[in-house]
Structure 1
Amino acid sequence: MSPRMGLDLQKIVQTSIEIADEDGVHAVTMANLAKRLNIRSPSLYNHIEGLPALRNELALHGLRQLYSAMETNLSQSSLQNPVIALGKAYIRFARLHPGLYEATLHASDNQLPEIQKAGNKIIEITLKVLESYHLDKDTALHTVRGLRSILHGFVSLEQNNGFGITLDLDDSLDYILITFLKGIQ
């Protein structure tokens, strides 16, 4: 069977991102994707091997987009502390693309070299902004894990309406990041 005209992997991934951002990453199925594209499910297999491969593509795309958002915010930020700039970019990305963000956590095979490379770029940019704290290698990596835990926890609570008190969320994020940085110093 020949591939459908106008349908390619990029279109499949973009449509999957739309489904994920609207309904969550678990709503991305071959059946839902085919329905959205107005094709039969078997036609998708001309472009992608199946749902596990699609989840890998989403994770890879999400990691690359997250890195790009972090890098862009660092270069354009007027904030004095680059760690806060990275944190704000991370949160902004998750707010704009909740399903794609979720997909970064759900690769079918996070050992694929491309996925590892994309994830490592995020670690590297974070380590770079932490250089001014003069941390040894292990402490810096623990700090990256701590920062990621804070940011992911914040995203998770926000996306699940876990912040019920009427305090500004961005003010809370600033407070949390500043407190974290004071702990590093």
Structure 2
Amino acid sequence: MARAGLTPEIVVDLALAIVDEHGPAAVTLSAVAARAGVATPSLYKHVRNLAELAELVSIRVMGELADRGYAAVAGRSGEDALRAFADAWRGYAHEHPGRYAAMIQTASPNLSKAGQRLVDIALATLRSYGLEGEQAIHATRALRAAIHGFVTLEAAGGFGLPYGIDDSFHQLIGMVIGGLPKPV
């Protein structure tokens, strides 16, 4: 019998606790069920399968990342906003490496909807550069690729040279900003 109060949100909470402790690969339906104190079939009342659970975890992580990004850019514009957004994104990846690694990077209708908040924040920060439409999307993709690529390599230990990684990150973001038109 399912534990009283078990909901899809609680199932995601339990999965995230496993991600935080052991990484995304440790999330299985049986591991989540064990943590919930229920039999694995009881989870099917709340999630269809492991793929749906992974998607729900990704949606939650994207929401947390968007909340962090929004708070960072509030009241800022131009370079200050873009740097704050990048620092917030990287900070989230540092504080929650398992969650960040669990975020699915491919598009699906549900993930696209959740990811739209991040896109909207990036687009808002680019408005001060006069970028709209297609050009704003290209700039948003470049910003995402730069930040995600850097934090992914950093998490994997891909920067072994004896120079400041923070300095490298700030230089990378400066290069992205340098490729944008001057703020209007």
Q: TM-score range with shorter-chain normalisation?
A: 0.7 to 0.9
Determine the structure 2 residue equivalent to 1:14.
13
**What SS is found at the alignment partner of 2:172?**
helix
The question of whether the paired residues in 2 share the 8 Å contact of 1:3 and 1:47 is answered with: no
Determine the structure 1 residue equivalent to 2:134.
138
The question of whether the paired residues in 1 share the 8 Å contact of 2:78 and 2:129 is answered with: no
Instruction: Tell me the CA shift for residue 40 of structure 1.
Output: 2.1
Determine the structure 2 residue equivalent to 1:181.
177
The question of whether the paired residues in 1 share the 8 Å contact of 2:58 and 2:104 is answered with: yes
Return closer, same or farther for 1:76/1:27 CA change in 2, 3 Å cut-off. farther
TM-score, length-scaled by structure 2: 0.87
Code of the residue aligned with 2:74 in structure 1: it is S
Structure 1 stretches (4+) deviating beyond 6 angstroms? Answer: 76-79
The question of whether the paired residues in 1 share the 8 Å contact of 2:90 and 2:147 is answered with: yes
Determine the structure 1 residue equivalent to 2:117.
121
State how 1:24-173 maps to structure 2 within 5 Å: 24-75=23-74, 81-105=80-104, 110-112=108-110, 115-173=111-169
Return closer, same or farther for 1:18/1:111 CA change in 2, 3 Å cut-off. same
Q: Give aligned pairs, total.
A: 181
Instruction: Tell me the CA shift for residue 87 of structure 1.
Output: 0.5
Return closer, same or farther for 1:153/1:63 CA change in 2, 3 Å cut-off. same
Unaligned runs of 5+ in 1: none
TM-score, length-scaled by structure 1: 0.87
Looking at structure 2, the residues matched to 131 and 73 of structure 1 have their Cα atoms a distance apart, in angstroms, of: 16
The question of whether the paired residues in 2 share the 8 Å contact of 1:34 and 1:41 is answered with: yes
Unaligned runs of 5+ in 2: none
The question of whether the paired residues in 1 share the 8 Å contact of 2:68 and 2:89 is answered with: yes
Return closer, same or farther for 1:136/1:6 CA change in 2, 3 Å cut-off. closer
Looking at structure 1, the residues matched to 76 and 169 of structure 2 have their Cα atoms a distance apart, in angstroms, of: 16
The question of whether the paired residues in 1 share the 8 Å contact of 2:2 and 2:38 is answered with: no
